[in-house]
Structure 1
Amino acid sequence: MMPDYIAQCASLAMALEVSATPKPGNIDREHNYPDTRYEHFLASVVAAYPIIREAATQKKKLWRAISKGCQ
């Protein structure tokens, strides 16, 4: 599969998951915590895209690419 397609699918899945509502006790587009907002999750989706794409390009294990991306 093409790395961009894999990263796009993963990004869409993350955005849809956080957008689902209602999710009692969890953050969604209608419910935030005092220190964590729905927008933080959307920003994470954008930040994760290049890491997921790199993992797909180099056929790395995703957890290794994410760990490297967090450093």
Structure 2
Amino acid sequence: MIRPRWEWSLVDAEGQAAPAAPSPVFTTQYDAEQWLGEQWRELAATGVAVVRLLHDGTQATPSIELPAP
């Protein structure tokens, strides 16, 4: 059985891939969202401005702008 893959696309203020470490891959949307809830401050501090939740490589939710630290 192939499990769905959820991961975050991390983007900087210029619209490029952020220099932060890549998002882990999750098997549920809930786990991915919980991780973001725990990590968003650290991500924003490392230059991440926008996050996009991807489901098997396709954007699954609207983009989320992270507030500046």
Assess same fold via TM > 0.5. Answer: no
- The structure where strand makes up a greater share of residues is 2
Q: TM-score by structure 2 length?
A: 0.31
- The structure where helix makes up a greater share of residues is 1
Structure with greater Cα Rg: 1
